[in-house]
Structure 1
Amino acid sequence: MPKIISANLNGIRSAAKKGFFNWMATVDADIICVQELKAQAPDMTEEFLNPHGYHGHFHYAEKKGYSGTGIYSKTAPDRVMIGFGSPEFDAEGRYVRADFGNLTVISVYCPSGSSSEERQLAKFRFMELFLPHLQQLRDEGREFVICGDWNIAHKEIDLKNWKGNLKNSGFLPEERAWMTKLFDEVGYVDVHRGLDQRPEQYTWWSNRGQAYAKNVGWRIDYHVATPGIAAKAHTVSVYKDEKFSDHAPLIIEYHA
């Protein structure tokens, strides 16, 4: 306890059809962070809002069928914050924060830069804004677990075809250096890697070719945590028995 899951749904309606909420009923998680809802408030059914008695809190993008994040929790949060104070990126629905006692859990969906040069520049703007925000969070003195799709593979071990991706969004030198700074200077912990140093622990696979079948993937979904709570992590798994989206849920259990 607690068991915290991060899952990029690549569309909440699509994931629901593929059995995500049925699985959610069986997994007994305390908190589930979801990204890429691709839905607005009017699209959200009761099943999406409060599945199996969970409390749901969401940040919708202004653009239809785009982005969006949420947090489901067994117990109601003490406080919820939607967005992190950036007009540009808060309009894209990328951030939900929920406080539970001295623990804060955040669901974040960092931009992808793979679709165009314009989106890569937006990703760099996001990184420039988000790192100081993460530093401010550290200054609060609380324990944080920031879950989500960070859209960056940090090291060569974190993607199958690293040599072929050195100039591609998600594995650019600037992006990787940013992650290193997050861990080595700001002082957060990559919880998954702290528990499991094995290669091929991927959480996302391209829909092109046979990437999923051949496990030609990327590890771009993380639990990024403050050292205190990171030290309490004891079990990590990537759930691949069912496929709800092009990402797999990342499950980490922490001692109370």
Structure 2
Amino acid sequence: MVRISSVNVNGIRAAARKGMHPWLADAGVDILTLQEVRAPRSELEKALPGWTLVDDEATAKGRAGVAIASRREPTAVRTVFGPEDLDTKGRWIEADFTIDGEVVTVVSAYVFTGEAETPAKQDPKWAFLDAMNERLPQLASNSALAVVTGDLNVGHREFDIRNWKGNVKKSGFLPRERAYFDRYFGAHGTDVTGVDGTVGPGLGWVDVGRAFHGEIDGPYTWWSSRGKAFDNDVGWRIDYHMASPALAERVENYAVWRAPSWDTRWSDHAPVTVDYRLG
């Protein structure tokens, strides 16, 4: 069994200062994927002493940043992703781990937030989602056991956003964005009609959270700082474990750790933890 947890820490230094360590001490995590690290490698090492770390720092200082912390050495690490003119530094890292004789590929991904009707901010998001559309089949062909984790900044379905009607024209719930996820999670090799009416091939990946919980609201993984969104659980489910079919069959448990109160949170995102049966 391997326990993989993913969380957007909203700055590793701030998360460590606000209470990440007590959670981590109790969580029993084997592999921890991080997004929005927003710090150089030296600070990551200070925040996670004793862990084996691989990371990809963003081009812009203090922005983005992804990492994978583990209790074992990875056998391979890759950060090349997407076309050369797309700056994905700090947004995608892959690591292969050999666990009980089986190789599993773990990805930490941080998709651009985007902003509707602002091309300078939304166009990189489209390009990133296009790149995922190309990379996901490659991952599946290279590793039967693979999982893409992280803050993907899209609520796929109406179940994934409490106030979905008020967000259909905002980045994060645009029909075109959601259509990418229709195809990511669509049956492999079939033509999938997205929520925006476009048609494309299904890639066959599995949304572990939705598969585990079924057709229910949430459980949410991010809450706005405005008003009492957290207290009233007016959230978004934008943090995922996206598993290859073979790995999805190995899921034993899925959990979102929601802090007991607003003032005990150490990030605006909640960790998403999944137990996978390996070996």
- Indicate if the aligned counterparts of 1:195 and 1:234 stay in contact, CA closer than 8 A: no
CA contact 1:69–1:95 (8 Å) conserved in 2: yes
SS in 2 for 1:146: strand
Q: Matches of 2:82 and 2:155 in 1, distance apart?
A: 26
Q: Distance in 1 between matches of 2:91 and 2:134?
A: 16
Question: 1:32 is matched with which residue?
Answer: 32
What is the Cα deviation at residue 26 of structure 1?
Answer: 2.1
Structure 1 partner of 2:232: 214
The match for 2:105 is 104
Structure with max Cα Rg? 2
One-letter identity of the residue aligned with 1:218: W
Root mean square deviation of aligned Cα: 1.6
Q: 2:218 aligns to what?
A: 200
Aligned residue among 179, 182, 194 for 2:181: 179
Q: Deviations over 1:141-200 (max 9, x none)?
A: 431011000000000000001111111101011111100100111110001111112313
Instruction: Give the residue type in structure 2 aligned to 1:105.
Output: V
Higher deviation after alignment, 76-85 or 92-101: 76-85
TM-score between both structures, scaled by the size of structure 1: 0.94
- Partner Cα distance (2:86, 2:235) in 1: 27
The one-letter amino acid paired with 1:21 is: H
Question: Residues 58-93 of structure 1, C-alpha deviation per residue, up to 9 Å, x if partnerless?
Answer: 110010110000001111111111232543445531
CA distance in 2, matches of 1:147, 1:189: 12
Structure 1 segments of 4+ aligned residues over 2 angstroms from their partners: 45-48, 85-92, 114-117
Q: Percent identity?
A: 40
Q: CA deviation at 1:25?
A: 2.2
Q: Using a 3 Å threshold, how does the CA distance of structure 1 residues 90 and 55 change in structure 2: closer, same or farther? A: farther
Q: Is the 8 A contact 1:66 1:92 kept in 2?
A: no
1:72 aligns with 2:69: yes
Residues in 1 aligned to 2:239 and 2:233: alpha-carbon distance in whole angstroms: 16
Letter in 1 for 2:253: T
Distance (whole Å) between structure 2 residues aligned to residue 88 and residue 55 of structure 1: 31
Find the aligned partners of 2:85 and 2:33 in 1 and give their Cα distance: 22
Give the aligned residue type for 1:178.
Y
CA–CA distance in structure 1, aligned partners of residues 44 and 6 of structure 2 = 21
For 1:146, the equivalent position in structure 2 comes to 148
Give the drift of 1:98. Answer: 0.8
Structure 1 residue 38, shift from structure 2 partner: 1.2
Q: Does the 8 Å CA contact 2:144/2:247 hold for their aligned counterparts?
A: no
Q: Is contact 2:221-2:236 (8 Å) kept?
A: yes
Q: CA deviation at 1:136?
A: 1.3
User: TM-score normalized by structure 2?
Assistant: 0.86
- Matched residue SS, 1:22: helix
Tell me whether 1:87 sits opposite 2:84 in the alignment.
yes
**8 A contact 1:83–1:90 mirrored in 2:** no
Which consecutive residues of structure 2, in runs of 5 or more, have no partner in the other structure? 187-201
Partner SS state of residue 152, structure 1: coil
User: Do 1:59 and 1:83's aligned partners in 2 also have CA atoms closer than 8 Å?
Assistant: no
Alpha-carbon distance in 1 for matches of 2:127, 2:94? 21
Q: How does 1:110-189 map to 2 (within 5 A)?
A: 110-114=111-115, 116-184=118-186, 185-189=202-206
Deviation at 1:135, TM superposition (A): 1.5
Aligned to 1:238: 256
**Which residue in 1 is equivalent to 2:194?**
none
Q: Give 1:22 deviation, angstroms.
A: 3.1
SS at match of 1:253: strand
Q: Distance in 1 between matches of 2:131 and 2:124?
A: 11
